[in-house]
Amino acid sequence: MGDYLRLLTINDRDIPLASLQRAVPTVAIWSVDHPGLLGNYLAIGPEYGNLQNVWTTIERNPVAPNTLGAEEVAEFIDSLDAGGPASASRWLAEYLETIRAIYALRIYPEAIVDNPQAEDAVYAVRSALRDAVGGIGQWDGHGFTNEDDRLIWCDPRMERVGKTEAAILDESTGLWIPFKLNLEDPEDLEAFLKGEVPKRPRH
């Protein structure tokens, strides 16, 4: 898991803290003042208020001119040529221009390692955010997912571990072709980066 998981959304509405707490009742989620910045961030962990054992924090960055969010979007667009497939790069370049907010989940691996349920809890919170505002995903060291949360773009230098739900864009129809991608299979990954469904997709 990378240091950051991000949800990039065209929906700029605020998500009430209580909504997340109800959606993921098995973990503690609370608001913390953000030192040096206006506003606050959310902390997630096993015990309310315990900042020494936080699993992840969530920061919401609006995307507007001269904001950190706008800088991040520009960096993402600039990075698209480094990976593929090209069809996803083109789709992402257009989609990213419409983003209104970025939810950045910072992961603290040293805290998660001590609790085997922590990783599931972090993904549950991410799922609750995605259910509330939709959007696409960006994972450090992994790539981008589409609105169905399937991997659509990756950097060839990423860590190649396991299998994942993926999709290729059919640009003639605008529809995504879903399949399961074996990241550890060089032939599968090469086909994916070329914009082709691997010859032996596992549905």
User: Which of 87-124 are b and which e, b meaning 16 or more Cβ less than 10 Å from the residue's Cβ?
Assistant: bbbebbeebbeebbbbbbbbbbeebbeeeeebbebbeb
Task: Check pLDDT > 80 for residue 21.
Answer: yes
What mean pLDDT is predicted for residues 97-120? 89
- For residue 84, what pLDDT is reported? 95
Q: What percent of the chain has pLDDT over 70?
A: 94
What mean pLDDT is predicted for residues 2-19? 88
What mean pLDDT is predicted for residues 26-33? 89
- For residue 44, what pLDDT is reported? 93
- For residue 201, what pLDDT is reported? 47
- For residue 1, what pLDDT is reported? 44
Helices 86-96 and 68-79 sit at what angle, rounded to 10 degrees? 160
- For residue 82, what pLDDT is reported? 92
What mean pLDDT is predicted for residues 152-163? 86
- For residue 203, what pLDDT is reported? 47
Lowest mean pLDDT among 4-13, 58-67, 99-108, 155-164: 155-164
